[in-house]
């Protein structure tokens, strides 16, 4: 009976471990970064919306290691995919929600000139008050391969008082400021297609050096 009970406990522990969200950690003398990929259910709990499935949300905790204040910027982070070489910078809340127009495009880096299809144009996430706009299909100039980068440009803005989702995105996002103590917040990214956690790596490229956090 004791052996059976022990096996049950080990099985329960293994199942609990399997349910843990994908996480990663990296550090140097100046900064420690911990990151967790949120599931669609966790995104809904945090923001009240799963963002239509268009965005990947990463919860990060930054712990500075030096005595001097460390400047934190969301532009210091990139999400890359091992699957196809795509990369995405962190999005601002106004690029995701509200009446702000979001122009999403892809660009090939390396291997020659790339141009063409800038992708869909959204006016907020469908079902959150914004109305999707027509897709702009510009003629392709040519592409010779290389990594693909997802880019977004926001036009206009809307007060967070007018949009609950925008307010939640703004409240939960990683703050941009100088820190001496640990700081936590969310980062929002978007990659075309489906990507498993093992395909993804979060990169920090800021004043504290370079850190890579593969979700494996």
Q: What is the pLDDT of residues 147-178, one digit of tens each?
A: 555 555 444 445 556 689 999 999 999 999 99
Residue labelled with tokens 């206009």:
156
Distance in angstroms (rounded) separating the CA atoms of residues 80 and 191 = 9
Residue 62 lies in a domain: yes
Mean pLDDT across the chain: 75
For the chain, the C-alpha Rg in angstroms (whole number) is 20
**Residue 18: which residues within 8 A CB-CB, separation 6 or more?**
none
How many angstroms separate the Cα of 77 from the Cα of each of 87, 89, 190, 212?
Answer: 10, 6, 13, 10
Distance in angstroms (rounded) separating the CA atoms of residues 35 and 165 = 23
- How many of the other CB atoms lie within 10 Å of CB of 204? 22
3-state secondary structure of 42: helix
> In this structure, are residues 197 and 98 in contact, taking their beta carbons and an 8 Å threshold?
no
> What is the average per-residue pLDDT within 182-203?
96
> Can you give 140-193 as a three-state secondary structure string?
CCCCCCCEEEEEEEEECCCCHHHCHHHHHHHHHECCCCEECCCEEEEEEECCCC
- Tell me the pTM: 0.69
Residue 140 sits in which domain range?
21-214
Residue 3 lies in a domain: no
Distance in angstroms (rounded) separating the CA atoms of residues 5 and 25 = 34
Number of domains in the chain: 1
Encoded tokens for 103: 């122009």
Interior angle at CA 51, CA 48 and CA 56, nearest 5: 115
Residue 89 lies in a domain: yes
Distance in angstroms (rounded) separating the CA atoms of residues 65 and 121 = 41
Residue 28 lies in a domain: yes
Residue 13 lies in a domain: no
> What is the average per-residue pLDDT within 37-46?
96
Residue 10 has a pLDDT of 39
Residue 1 lies in a domain: no
Q: Which range, of 10-19, 82-91, 179-188, averages the lowest pLDDT?
A: 10-19
Residue 98 lies in a domain: yes
Tens-place pLDDT, residues 42-94: 999 999 999 999 999 999 999 999 889 999 999 999 999 999 999 999 999 99
Residue 15 lies in a domain: no
């Amino acid at each position: 009976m004791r052996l059976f009970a022990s096996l049950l406990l080990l099985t329960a522990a293994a199942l609990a471990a399997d349910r843990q969200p994908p996480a990663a950690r990296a550090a140097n003398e100046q900064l420690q970064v911990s990151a967790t990929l949120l599931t669609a259910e966790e995104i809904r709990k945090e923001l009240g919306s799963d963002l239509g499935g268009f965005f990947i949300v990463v919860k990060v905790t930054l712990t500075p290691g030096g005595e001097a204040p460390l400047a934190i910027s969301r532009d210091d982070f990139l999400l890359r995919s091992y699957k196809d070489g795509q990369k995405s910078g962190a999005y601002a809340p106004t690029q995701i929600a509200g009446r702000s127009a979001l122009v999403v495009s892809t660009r090939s880096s390396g291997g020659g000139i790339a141009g063409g299809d800038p992708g869909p144009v959204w006016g907020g996430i469908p079902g959150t008050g914004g109305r999707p706009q027509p897709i702009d299909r510009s003629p392709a100039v040519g592409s010779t391969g290389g990594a693909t980068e997802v880019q977004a440009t926001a036009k206009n803005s809307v007060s967070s008082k007018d949009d609950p989702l925008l307010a939640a995105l703004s409240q939960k996002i990683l703050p941009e400021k100088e820190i001496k103590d640990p700081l936590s917040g969310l980062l929002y990214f978007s990659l075309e297609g489906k990507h498993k956690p093992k395909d993804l790596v979060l990169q920090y490229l800021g004043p504290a050096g370079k850190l890579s956090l593969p979700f494996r």
